[in-house]
């Protein structure tokens, strides 16, 4: 699975969205071109992470998490991505966001790739 190719395709989303749900609909349509897509996948947190559950917005081919974030701090997002990458079957994460501060995410966390698909148009 080519994480860079998927992130590039996601960054080209130009649909107008009013909230995270509308954006997720457009994201799902793009991801369907790259593999089997599961939505709202809930899992117990991986060993060593906090107690509770993780919820992946999208899980592609059982290995790539795609997270839609239109708000929140970089530090909170980073903690969330670290938790997601603690799952042994998660091979990488793509974050789709309209926040320029999220561009500060590292491209590699714990040896796994992280990409940001930054949307600069379409948000209301």
pLDDT tier for residue 123 given thresholds of 50, 70 and 90: very low
Q: How confident is the model over 52-103, as pLDDT tens digits? A: 788 999 999 999 999 998 888 999 999 999 999 999 999 999 999 888 889 8
pLDDT tier for residue 124 given thresholds of 50, 70 and 90: very low
Say which residues have a Cβ less than 8 Å from residue 73's Cβ, sequence separation at least 6. Answer: 101
Domain map (residue ranges) of the chain: 3-118
Asked if 15 contacts 122 with a C-beta cutoff of 8 angstroms, the reply is: yes
Burial of 17 (0-12, 13-18, 19+ CB in 10 A): buried
């Amino acid at each position: 699975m080519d994480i860079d190719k998927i992130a590039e395709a996601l960054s080209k989303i130009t649909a107008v969205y009013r909230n995270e749900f509308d954006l997720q609909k457009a994201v799902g349509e793009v991801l369907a071109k790259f593999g089997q897509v599961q939505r709202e996948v809930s899992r117990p947190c991986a060993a060593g992470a906090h107690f509770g559950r993780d919820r992946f917005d999208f899980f592609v081919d059982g290995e790539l998490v795609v997270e839609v974030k239109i708000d929140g701090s970089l530090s909170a997002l980073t903690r969330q991505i670290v938790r997601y990458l603690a799952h042994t079957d998660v091979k990488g994460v793509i974050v789709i966001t309209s926040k320029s501060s999220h561009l500060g995410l590292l491209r590699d966390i714990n040896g796994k790739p992280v990409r940001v698909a930054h949307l600069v148009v379409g948000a209301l």
